[in-house]
């Protein structure tokens, strides 16, 4: 019975409505959904479910003081639906992609127009690959909890060296001088691009509030673009101030048909500096989208 009562709310992804029920009825200890009175046991269960959902709810931040940007899809390209995208970049006219999951982690060179994987390096099954950057003629790839980074030769993906760091690895990009990495917190970390030693941490805020779950990164035209994990939002960050100057909301970029694949969350931003083209994709998404923003 309770499942039926709740199903209509969760199936429509209506956690806000659920919250409003609590907000509106809690003070007088009378709970009802669709005019059905809930028992005390049901209410307690509802509290547990709600608190769990609230903790893991998708985070689509808004910046009331900043601009919220819209997007238009210019073109779309095929993307391997078995690629759990953790990092994406454009180099010399090709996508380079880092895919995660234990046993499925890889570094790939991908034909942009066809999505064909031209070259692939598989990581050991115990490594969950994460962010990817190209710096000093080498590819640098992070891992999630192994605290190990991998340095690859550009042409053949030969592992030139590995290095250690002392936090989780999430996103990675290169600003022309330093590597910039995320660990899922509200800070970005600047690393020396040769020694990989940490030079400084920058706390990222939006309207004075910390911005958590910073994930895949891309340095674009002097700004840092950061996926917010489990959301459709990208924070566009002024690196000097550590402030979000605008939010890009990509809600709806996957059509309903495309969403029926086992598509996971948005997680892939790449910039083709030569053609000033911006690409986005997600984990197991069937497409990579070239977008313009306005």
Contact footprint for Ca ion (CB under 5 A): 88-89, 218, 269
Q: What is the dihedral of CA 54, 58, 64, 67, to 10 degrees?
A: 170
Minimum Å gap between C-beta 271 and Ca ion is 8
Minimum Å gap between C-beta 286 and Ca ion is 19
Burial of 244 (0-12, 13-18, 19+ CB in 10 A): buried
Q: What whole-number distance in Å separates Cα of residue 141 and Cα of residue 135? A: 11
Minimum Å gap between C-beta 175 and Ca ion is 12
Minimum Å gap between C-beta 170 and Ca ion is 11
Q: What whole-number distance in Å separates Cα of residue 60 and Cα of residue 270? A: 21
Q: What whole-number distance in Å separates Cα of residue 213 and Cα of residue 129? A: 17
User: Which residue number, 88 or 291, has a Cβ lying nearer to Ca ion?
Assistant: 88
Minimum Å gap between C-beta 229 and Ca ion is 14
User: Which residue number, 139 or 247, has a Cβ lying nearer to Ca ion?
Assistant: 139
User: Which residue number, 31 or 99, has a Cβ lying nearer to Ca ion?
Assistant: 99
User: Which residue number, 31 or 225, has a Cβ lying nearer to Ca ion?
Assistant: 225
Identify which of 93, 1, 16 has the alpha carbon closest to the alpha carbon of residue 53: 16
Name the phi and psi angles at 35, rounded to 5: 65, 15
**Residue 47 host element (H or E):** helix 40-56
User: Which residue number, 183 or 218, has a Cβ lying nearer to Ca ion?
Assistant: 218
Minimum Å gap between C-beta 141 and Ca ion is 12
User: Which residue number, 202 or 234, has a Cβ lying nearer to Ca ion?
Assistant: 234
Q: With H, G, I as helix, E, B as strand and everything else as coil, classify residue 253.
A: coil
Long-range interactions of 173-180: CB distance < 8 A, separation 24+: 173/89, 173/131, 173/133, 173/217, 173/218, 173/219, 173/224, 174/133, 174/134, 174/135, 174/140, 174/219, 175/219, 175/224, 175/239, 176/219, 179/133, 179/135, 179/140, 180/217, 180/219, 180/224, 180/239
Minimum Å gap between C-beta 245 and Ca ion is 19
Q: What whole-number distance in Å separates Cα of residue 240 and Cα of residue 196? A: 20
User: Which residue number, 89 or 266, has a Cβ lying nearer to Ca ion?
Assistant: 89
């Amino acid at each position: 019975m309770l499942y039926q009562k709740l199903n209509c709310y969760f199936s429509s992804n209506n956690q806000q409505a659920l919250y409003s029920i609590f907000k509106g009825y809690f003070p007088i200890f009378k709970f009802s959904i669709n005019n059905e009175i809930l028992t005390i046991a049901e209410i307690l269960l509802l509290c547990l479910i709600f608190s769990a959902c609230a903790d893991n709810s998708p985070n689509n931040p808004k910046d009331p003081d900043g601009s919220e940007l819209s997007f238009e899809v210019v073109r779309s390209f095929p993307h391997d639906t078995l690629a759990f995208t953790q990092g994406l970049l454009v180099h010399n006219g090709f996508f380079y992609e880092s895919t995660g999951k234990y046993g499925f982690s890889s570094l790939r060179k991908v034909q942009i127009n066809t999505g064909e994987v031209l070259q692939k390096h598989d990581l050991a099954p115990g490594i969950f690959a994460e962010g990817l950057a190209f710096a000093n003629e080498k590819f640098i790839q992070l891992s999630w909890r192994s605290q190990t980074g991998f340095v690859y030769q550009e042409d053949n993906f030969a592992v030139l060296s590995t290095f250690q760091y002392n936090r989780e690895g999430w996103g990675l990009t290169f600003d022309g001088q330093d590597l910039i990495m995320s660990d899922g917190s509200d800070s970005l970390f600047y690393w020396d691009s040769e020694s990989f030693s940490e030079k400084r941490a920058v706390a990222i805020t939006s309207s004075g509030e910390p911005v958590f779950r910073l994930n895949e990164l891309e340095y674009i035209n002097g700004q840092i673009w950061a996926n917010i994990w489990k959301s459709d939002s990208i924070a566009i960050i002024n690196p000097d101030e550590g402030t979000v100057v605008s939010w890009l909301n990509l809600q709806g970029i996957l059509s309903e048909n495309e969403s029926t694949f086992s598509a996971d969350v948005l997680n892939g931003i790449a910039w083709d500096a030569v053609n000033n083209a911006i690409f986005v994709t997600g984990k197991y998404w069937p497409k990579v989208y070239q977008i313009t923003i306005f």
